[in-house]
Chains A and B, each alone.
Chain A
């Protein structure tokens, strides 16, 4: 593949991909009799036009950062973790068990404990596929996707028969104690004037940013990260260097599962304040797209998570305020994934001649 300048690779290619996805979406909107210009303006207005919109966009962004990082860490060990969804649901179970275990006096105590619970449960859910991949050579894609279904069924069973308080109608846990309630943006000094109490974005957004930095340090500044990346690039060379296959696969998948699980401090602890069925709501799968689009770099993941947060919130607003059905949001997301992930090379090929000509001159 011909080389593009770094900025083109990191900025231009994703940007063109998004524009192409948007153009096709516009054609679809036209075809079903909608107005694409109106759709775009409603999306921007709804997602970024008000503190309320930002509150939701950043809430979604937070979840997507965690799952995107989860996929990223596994990817660097050449493990394609499709199971962030299941790991996030198990993380939710961990959060719920921690939050319901004690009458927490203050969120500052509850949050670290819940993070430990979320990370442990998420990691545990990734552990079995990881071990099978490392020791038995099972394909990680197959096993993690199966574990998504097992997670779904397990949580359904637990929520219906074990965790549901007697007399409650819906399959969910009891509400978490108020001491475990995380501060939303409205509760944070300095932001309280901007955001209303109703926005779901909460302090986990900052935890997510810290996680981005932590993953960056892990992958590029530590021995473990070095070994993970070396193994991911070249397994044979890792053998030669004495980098243990089992260790790298298992540890990277445990970290990946823990990051996916950590997502639950945002949606379960920060927003719902109880554990519901299907708590992850597909964020685990969006994490794959986020990691792909973010080039498996924490900074890219942050930006891509924000884009998907925007699409999520903007799409919801579009469904609400225009005649365009909300399902079109899925179409738009799908196209973005298609273009940034699968058709990435096509876009690259399209723009390469322009750069070559420039160099020739």
Chain B
């Protein structure tokens, strides 16, 4: 809380200084930047001024051109036309070396670190002073200690990077930029991989940096972050800069409207769930990955008909494995029943038999699993259901013409744009690709829908639509397992929330009984706020789960191992 007020005041002062301080040259000024890839115009006449010592947010949907613009600034792409001015001087940035010389540092969404190097080795990589490493390492270590103190970035310089948490790895990236004397720091979707607590810490660091007079550009698609930390915000839409506004004088709704060009509902309208019979039961599910590491360590979950169970958690804590074993393409141990039928987990069954059992699956990664990108939409529309009798003309041939017709109708119903069945999946935008997958899975009226990251890389307009469809399927009586790293999404859609950490369910909550902080603690592996670190009293945190089990028809004592 304290922290928020602090940033609030600073934001106001920065905003007022920027309005009156026209004499001071902007840290970065872009004038009429244009960049095309073939026929696609990624940036159209982008002009922007970033005042020194401020945090400037750039927000926009996926594919709006944010990353292209920053890549031009960092020397990865060359603009077709336009000028870049750094501190008032026109600067040509042909490569990233030139960007670094101009004082620009970039923290990428996917870190560019050598995992088996130490922190200090990573920091000096490419910035070694001479042929011998020892002197530059010693110098870097001193410098890192100073920077760490100054900005509250406690990172052990001699720790190997692969042993660091994601949040710490990100700090190493920031340190790398600061070590190169960057005055302008660009962060591309920095919180995508962080827990809420880590994100808070990052914002605190950014606050310190701003206080030191550094200029920060924050690229994100999360409105909340923009509102929380930035001084000014620029909105991009389809390659154009639609607006630059002072953050304190705008609202999330106004920004969202600018992003999509129309008003959007950020809240999901849904009625109270009317859960029916237990459809999906998971008991003591254990899964090992290909390296024989246990990734699911005894999961117990139950989902009833007409109910959405949301799985919250930082990605990589077993959610993927859970979906895959339910989806039929990963083996495991334990018991899973659907409508009373026990599924085979040993690998003798496959994803086809899961579909027969009424489990539909919208996979987390539609590019690698959900779609064949080179296939046209109509071939993707039957993917996984290609053996269904209604898609066959006779024993030999498929009914291709019929499939095309069915696809066209489904595309209309799901508002897929453009509604052209012959268009290859890769030529649709992320949101429309996801709608194709959803249409395929939802239209089969499954008993169970597994849905992973339903709106990852999907623009706001489509998010609304997708959420509506999920609620509709719930109300039609399906049991829905929702996995998402977006807490907002989990909280908006779920009727119950289970939090996963390191292959275990840390606890279950009702969305109305919890808040972000509570979930964040669970996501970080802290089982319960008032719980001592001992392992002796597991019933403390099993309570919500026991309650649910007791209501069940067979009264299973899944939570009873603590007795």
Query: Given A221-B400, A242-B350, A359-B39, does the pair A226, B368 have CB atoms closer than 8 Å?
Result: no
Chain B residues within an 8 Å CB radius of A239: 329, 351, 369
**Which of A14-22, A77-85, A227-235, A261-269 lies on the face that meets chain B?**
A227-235
A231-247 Cβ-contact flags toward B at 8 Å (1 or 0): 00110110111111000
Question: With contacts A237-B368, A237-B371, A239-B329 known, is A223 near B392, CB below 8 A?
Answer: yes
- Residue on A with the closest CB to B363? A240
Stretch from B48-56, B218-226, B378-386 contacting the other chain: B378-386
For B353, the closest partner residue in chain A by CB is A242
Contact in complex: A226, B329 (CB < 8 Å): no
Nearest residue, chain B, Cβ from A237: B369
Q: Which residue of A lies closest to B328 (CB)?
A: A242
Most B CB within 10 A of own CB, among A2, A226, A229, A243: A226
Does A3 have its Cβ within 8 Å of any Cβ on chain B?
Answer: yes
Q: Specify the chain B residue showing the minimal Cβ separation from A220.
A: B400
Question: Which bucket holds chain A's interface residue count?
Answer: 20 to 34
Instruction: List, in ascending order, chain A residues with CB within 8 A of B392's CB.
Output: 223
- Roughly how many angstroms separate A239 CA and B371 CA in the complex, as a whole number? 12
Least Cβ distance of A156 to chain B in Å? 41
The answer to whether B266 has its CB under 8 Å from any CB of chain A is no
Interface residues in B158-191 by Cβ distance below 8 A to A read none
Residues of B within 8 A of A222 (CB): 396-398
**Contact check: which of A2, A221, A236, A240 meets B397 at CB < 8 Å?**
A221
Judge whether B361 is part of the interface by a CB distance below 8 angstroms: yes
Compute how far the CA of A221 lies from the CA of B379 in the bound complex, rounded to whole angstroms. 11
Residues of B within 8 Å of A223, CB to CB, are 386-387, 392, 398
Whether A175 is near chain B, meaning CB under 8 Å from some CB there, is: no
**Inter-subunit contact A2/B363 (CB<8 Å):** no
CA A268 to CA B370, docked complex, whole Å? 47
CB distance A234 to B368 under 8 Å? Answer: yes
Residues of chain B lying within 8 A (CB to CB) of residue A226: 379, 386, 398
Chain A residues near B354 (CB-CB < 8 A): 242
Complex: chain B residue closest to A240, CB-CB: B369
- Chain A nearest CB: distance from B276 CB in Å? 28
**A106 interface residue (CB < 8 Å to B):** no
On whether the beta carbons of B384 and A356 are closer than 8 Å, the reply is no
Residues of B contacting A227 with CB < 8 Å?
A: 386
A130 vs B368: C-alpha distance when bound (angstroms) = 24
* CB within 8 Å of A: which B343-401 residues: 350-355, 361, 363, 368-375, 379, 383-384, 386-387, 392, 396-398, 400
**Which chain A residues numbered 2 to 30 have a C-beta less than 8 Å away from chain B?**
2-3
Whether B372 pairs with A230 at a CB distance below 8 angstroms is yes
In angstroms, how far is the closest chain B Cβ from the Cβ of A224?
Answer: 9
CB-defined contacts of A229 to chain B, threshold 8 Å = 372, 375
Q: Which of A2, A237, A242, A359 contacts B372 (CB 8 A)?
A: A237
Contacts of B372 in A (CB 8 A): 229-230, 233-234, 237
Please measure, in the bound complex, the distance between the C-alpha atom of A239 and the C-alpha atom of B352, giving whole angstroms: 9
The answer for the CA separation of A243 and B351 in the assembled complex, in Å, is: 8
User: Quick one: given A221-B398, A233-B372, are A241 and B386 in contact (CB under 8 Å)?
Assistant: yes
CA distance A345 to B271 in the complex (A): 56
Q: Please report the C-alpha to C-alpha distance between residue A3 and residue B387 in the assembled complex, in whole angstroms.
A: 33
**Residue of A at shortest CB range from B361?**
A240
> What's the nearest-Cβ distance from chain A to residue B355, in Å?
7
- For B353, list chain A residues within 8 Å (CB): 242
Chain B residues near A241 (CB, 8 Å)?
A: 351-352, 383-384, 386
- A216–chain B nearest beta-carbon distance, Å: 12
B306 contacts A by Cβ under 8 Å: no
The distance from the CB of A356 to the nearest CB of chain B, in whole angstroms, is 7
Task: Tell me, yes or no, whether B130 is within 8 Å of chain A by CB.
Answer: no
Decide yes or no whether B327 CB sits under 8 A from chain A: yes
Nearest-CB residue, chain A, relative to B366: A237
Chain A's closest residue to B329 (CB) is: A239
Q: How far is the CA of A240 from the CA of B386 in the complex (A)?
A: 13
Chain A residues positioned under 8 Å from B38 (CB to CB):
2-3, 356, 359
Cα A169 to Cα B373 in complex, Å, equals 59
Cβ of B417 to closest chain A Cβ, rounded Å: 20
A340-361 CB mask vs B (1 if < 8 Å, else 0) is 0000000000000000100100
Pick the residue among B39, B352, B355, B383 that contacts A237 (CB under 8 A).
Answer: B383
Smallest CB-CB separation from A3: which chain B residue? B38
- Asked, given contacts A223-B392, A240-B351, whether A233 binds B375 with beta carbons under 8 Å apart, the answer is yes
Q: Would you give the 0/1 interface string for A206-225, flagging 1 where the beta carbon is closer than 8 Å to chain B?
A: 00000000000100011100
Give Cα A221–Cα B354 distance, bound, in whole angstroms. 25
The CA-CA distance from A236 to B397 in the complex, in Å, is 25
Give CA–CA (A60, B450) in the complex, Å: 54
B residues less than 8 Å from A240 (CB atoms): 327, 329, 351, 361, 363, 369-370, 384
- A242 touching B351 by the CB < 8 A rule? yes
Contacts of A243 in B (CB 8 A): 352
Contact A244 B350 (CB under 8 A): yes
- Binary per-residue interface labels of chain B (189-200) against chain A in the complex, 1 for a CB within 8 Å, 0 otherwise: 000000000000
Contact A242 B352 (CB under 8 A): yes
**Least distance between A193 CB and chain B CB atoms (Å):** 39
Chain A positions within 8 Å of B355 at CB level? 242
Residues of B within 8 A of A233 (CB): 372-375
Contact with B along A307-333 (1 / 0, CB 8 A): 000000000000000000000000000
A3 CA / B351 CA spacing, docked (Å): 35
A25 to B387, CA, bound (A): 51
Docked CA distance A3–B374 (Å): 13
* Chain B residues in the interface with A (C-beta under 8 A): 38-39, 327-329, 350-355, 361, 363, 368-375, 379, 383-384, 386-387, 392, 396-398, 400
Known interface pairs A233-B372, A237-B372; 15 further A-B residue pairs with C-beta atoms within 8 A, sorted by A's residue number: A217-B397, A221-B400, A229-B372, A233-B374, A234-B373, A237-B383, A239-B329, A239-B351, A240-B329, A240-B361, A241-B351, A241-B384, A242-B328, A242-B350, A359-B39
**A-B CB proximity, top 9 nearest:** A242-B351, A242-B352, A241-B384, A240-B369, A239-B329, A242-B350, A233-B372, A236-B368, A221-B397
Q: 21 A-B contacts, Cβ less than 8 Å apart? A: A221-B400, A222-B396, A226-B398, A227-B386, A229-B372, A230-B372, A230-B379, A230-B383, A230-B386, A236-B368, A237-B383, A239-B329, A239-B351, A240-B329, A240-B361, A240-B370, A241-B384, A242-B329, A242-B352, A242-B353, A243-B352
